[in-house]
Structure 1
Amino acid sequence: MHSVHSTALLTDHYELTMVAAARRAGTAGRRCVFELFSRSLPAGRRYGVVAGVGRMLEALPAFRFSESELAALGSVVDDDTLAWLADFRFTGSIRGYAEGDLWFAHSPLLVVEASFAEAVVLETLLLSIYNHDCAVAAAASRMVTAAGSRPCVEMGSRRTHEEAAVAAARAAYLAGFTATSNLAARHRYGVPTTGTAAHAFTLLHDTEAEAFAAQVTALGVDTTLLVDTYEVEAGVRAALAAAGPDLGAVRIDSGDLAEVARRVRDQLDEAGAPHTRIVATSDLDEHRIEALAEAPLDAYGVGTHLVTGSGHPTAALVYKLVAREDAHGTLAPVAKRSVGKESRGGRKEATRRLTDGVAVAEVVGPAPGEGRPLLVDLVRDGEPVGTEALVDARARHRAAVAELPAEGRLIAAGDPAIPTLMV
């Protein structure tokens, strides 16, 4: 786990004004339950992927208001609220889905129990982490499924915000990508990194042959040479001349990837380099990867579509109050009745119902059902207890996808893989 600067101002203005008003009304200390969920999966998606849990557990202890943060809030809230914020420490509990698992409509990804003030002030932070990371992880999972046994590498750092790039690399790895180009993700989270050279390196040299010779000298014959700066066939010839038949891989980044890959494979085989791999990049998404299944490719590099959620840049998660302490000290269900934005009151449990090891339903209700329990302890009395290695979330994701019925793993748009039963 890496050190995190204060996350206290990664929030919205109205979170703090609600705290101020509730303190003045004497209701800020009421015990409450908030739930983070989505009313539906993004259109056409068959499942969602839980991601961001580890980042949330890093961000929560850093939600502290130092003198610097408090100074920035002088015109936002009153002095009494500033004093409360100066001493803020989350002391409640959080249960939720384990990272890497799957979620569906109304799945309670997080159940937060604390005073109103402590729970509501976390709303924006929790939603921003989960909405981004779940969106990227879902796209990554679909791409890994489409790729089959071929590895996928995340390389979208230059297509998103610099910090979102790190989070995206982490989310992609937990969903099955094998590596990233992002060095901060390697440093912070141990995600394997890879990379060799861009077209600029070839253009730097007088000839393609000189560029390839320089790269092989520096990185060895197992490197990957980018062969489409000029003309692919000539590029492959130059690559083999520089590295010989033990060249690790060539990368193609333009044109009709399936047709180019076939020509390159024939050229490599005829030159006595049958073990040289072919890597495809160039604006790939899960649908293009699926369409390339019959092409003689060995790996994919994915950028823009991955880090932007491949058409769904948010998971559409919301954070709603579902229960609050009444005059008798009992947690009473509360719910929105807004048209099209209804919520269901009461604290919930969640279970994945299985038949012969295959998921058949997501069961959500006030008590655990039969099947695989989905909620685990993440924070207890303000202290994170759910921290785990990223490789564990990665393994959990593989197992959760394997539980789905075959049609639930299809890439084409369709209904959710399993129904959500509200009991």
Structure 2
Amino acid sequence: MSTAELGLPVDVPSTALFTDRYELTMLQAALRSGAAQRRSVFEAFTRRLPEGRRYGVVAGTGRVLDAVENFRFDAPVLDFLRREHVVDDQTLEWLAGYRFTGDIWGYPEGEVYFPGSPILRVEGSFAEAVVLETVVLSILNHDSAIAAAASRMAVAAGGRPLVEMGARRTHELAAVAASRAAYVGGFRTSSNLAAGFRYGIPTVGTSAHAFTLLHDTERDAFTAQVDSLGRGTTLLVDTYDVATAVKAAVDIAGPELGAVRIDSGDLLLLAHRVRQQLDDLGAKNTKIVVTSDLDEYAIASLAAAPVDSYGVGTSLVTGSGHPTCSMVYKLVAREADDGSLVPVAKKSMGGKTSVGGRKWAARRVDEDGVASAEVVGSGPVPDDLAGRRLLVPLVRGGEIVGREPLEAARLRHIEARAGLPLSATQLSRGEPVLPPEIL
């Protein structure tokens, strides 16, 4: 859910300069040649998934819609472009009245995708569609990478709650977007208050080691925290000796203690020891939270441990080794002299080819309802796939029609992932779980 949907007052800056200079120099040349108004179709897709990944996750769609809505060349932006001699006066005049008036279709947020999937399709004049390239790719590449990592971690957690806590490990604005993408991918809460404010994501957090070190003794710190936040709080027990801290925690809060957090050491061994100690002290309902540079593999290794939830930071906000999805934004069709749309595609050597034509996508399923292929075509849609098309309208005639609550994207991802073959959830390296089928 966006800030506007939450009814929160916030100044939304123009997104028009979240672009590369060549988008505007291309625009200038196209205006001069007369081709700028040619009807064009651009598609965002990836030629391959990151190595070892079996599916991708579409995230950032809602942010793309916000960016398109706020893509405006206001006076300060135009003054900058004029001062830096980026484009000529004719182009500046055109930009001053810029509003996207075309159509955008795309995979709904939270859906899974595969190599060649037309994740986003932008239709309009060349001029109004080409300038959106950089901001669209910036959002989709970042958010989808985070959501894919989050999804893998959610699978590894096996239903145990995940807390996003990576704000201090990335750029402050990227941290908010990462929290949103992680929520789409399966995380339940975030430590980031800006994400809570902007997107309504539930936030959590209690104390760090500094709070314990501030006090004369660990018991003093625990007493102060329980007095302030109540017995249901989470106490950090690894500042000094874990066993001593657990005993003090239960002595002070009683068996109603909400949780203890372990942030260092052999998490598997410590989780078992702490669980046994808590049970022996009568705190059978006190939960165990673990943090400490977790990724999907570390989470999976703790599957048999008595851990109740995980906090993940660095690995999550960096895409667990894959901080981008390598998505591209390519012109696939343009208007001919007779008004028809003709396919166009890059055919150069080196693997950077693309497939021309305005495309649709559908997911074929087997007799058990499990996805068996990602079907992509530019001709008529086969009757058996007509009801399984993936692209949905997001913008019609420049008006946003596809905005939805963030919770809808989160639930959609759970459903989409459940519809994939079981091998999709394996953390071992492998090929994309659905083979592309090009019609």
Question: In structure 1, what is the equivalent of residue 57 of structure 2?
Answer: 49
CA distances 1:264-320 after superposition (whole Å, capped 9, x unpaired) = 111111111111110000000001100110111110000000000001000110000
Q: Aligned residue pairs: how many?
A: 423
Aligned to 1:223: 233
Query: Of residues 387, 390, 398 in structure 1, which corresponds to 2:403?
Result: 387
Please name the residue that 2:6 is paired with. Answer: none
Confirm or deny: 8 A CA contact 1:409 1:417 kept in the other structure: no
Q: In the TM superposition, what are the counterparts of 1:6-85 in structure 2 within 5 Å?
A: 6-74=14-82, 75-85=85-95
Which of the residues 110, 114, 139 maps onto 2:124?
A: 114
Per the TM alignment, residue 254 of structure 1 is displaced from its structure 2 partner at its CA by 0.3
- What is aligned with 1:97? 107
Is 1:360–2:372 an aligned residue pair? yes
User: What are the residue-to-residue correspondences of 1:147-158 with 2, within 5 Å?
Assistant: 147-158=157-168
Q: Deviations over 1:111-133 (max 9, x none)?
A: 11111111100000000000000
Distance 2:137 2:202 in 1: 27
**TM-score of the pair, normalised by structure 2:** 0.95
| Unaligned stretches of 5+ residues in structure 1 | none
User: Which residue of structure 2 lines up, in the alignment, with residue 282 of structure 1?
Assistant: 292
The letter for the 1-side match of 2:148 is: A
The 2-side partners of 1:134 and 1:332 are apart by 30
What is residue 177 of structure 1 aligned with on the other side?
187
1:347 match: 358
- Give the distance between the partners of 1:368 and 1:44, measured in 2 at CA: 31
Residue 167 of structure 1, CA deviation: 0.6
Partner SS state of residue 60, structure 1: helix
Distance 2:210 2:68 in 1: 42
Which letter does structure 2 place at the counterpart of 1:68? P
Report matched runs for 1:187-202 at 5 Å: 187-202=197-212
1:117-132 paired onto structure 2 within 5 Å: 117-132=127-142
Distance in 2 between residues matched to 1:368 and 1:203, nearest whole Å: 65
- Equivalent residue in structure 2 for 1:141, among 148, 151, 160: 151
1:246 pairs, out of 256, 259, 277, with 256
Write the letter of the residue equivalent to 2:249: A
Please identify, of 351-360 and 122-131, the stretch whose mean Cα deviation from structure 2 is larger: 351-360
Q: Indicate whether 1:322 and 2:332 are aligned.
A: yes
State how far apart, in whole Å, the 2-side matches of 1:58 and 1:25 are.
31
Rounded to whole Å, the distance in 1 between the matches of 2:228 and 2:67 is 40
Which 4+ runs in 1 deviate beyond 6 A?
none
- TM-score normalised according to structure 1 size: 0.99
Structure 2 residue identity aligned to 1:349: W
Which amino acid letter does the alignment assign opposite residue 363 of structure 1? V
* Residue among 386, 393, 396 paired with 2:412: 396
2:64 counterpart letter in structure 1: M
User: CA offsets per residue over residues 129-175 of structure 1, 9 Å max, x none?
Assistant: 00000000000000000000211010000000111111111111111
For 1:338 and 1:101, locate their aligned partners in 2 and report how far apart those are by CA, in whole Å.
31
C-alpha distance in 2 between matches for 1:420 and 1:195: 43
Determine whether 1:337 maps to 2:347: yes
State the Cα distance separating 1:368 from its structure 2 match: 2.9
Which secondary structure state, in structure 1, belongs to the residue aligned with residue 320 of structure 2? coil
Letter of the 1:6 counterpart: S
Q: Distance in 2 between matches of 1:71 and 1:42?
A: 40
User: Which residue of 157, 166, 171 corresponds with 2:176?
Assistant: 166
Give distance in 2, aligned partners of 1:410 and 1:347. 34
Cα separation, 2, equivalents of 1:151 and 1:417: 26
Q: Per the alignment, in what secondary structure is the counterpart of residue 72 of structure 1?
A: helix
Are the aligned partners of 1:96 and 1:375 in contact in 2 as well (CA < 8 Å)? Answer: yes
Q: Is the 8 A contact 1:277 1:298 kept in 2?
A: yes
CA deviation after TM superposition for structure 1 residue 324, in Å: 0.5
2:318 to 298, 308, 315: 308
Deviation of 1:382 (Å): 0.6
Note the alpha carbon deviations across 1:319-360, whole angstroms, 9 max, x for none: 000000111111100000122100000000000111121000
User: Which amino acid in the other structure matches residue 382 of structure 1?
Assistant: G
Structure 1 residue identity aligned to 2:415: A
SS in 2 for 1:131: helix
Distance 1:173 1:242 in 2: 34
* 8 Å Cα contact 1:173-1:394 kept in structure 2: yes
Deviation at 1:32, TM superposition (A): 0.4
TM-align CA RMSD: 0.8
Aligned partner letter, 1:44: G
* Residues in 2 aligned to 1:394 and 1:149: alpha-carbon distance in whole angstroms: 14
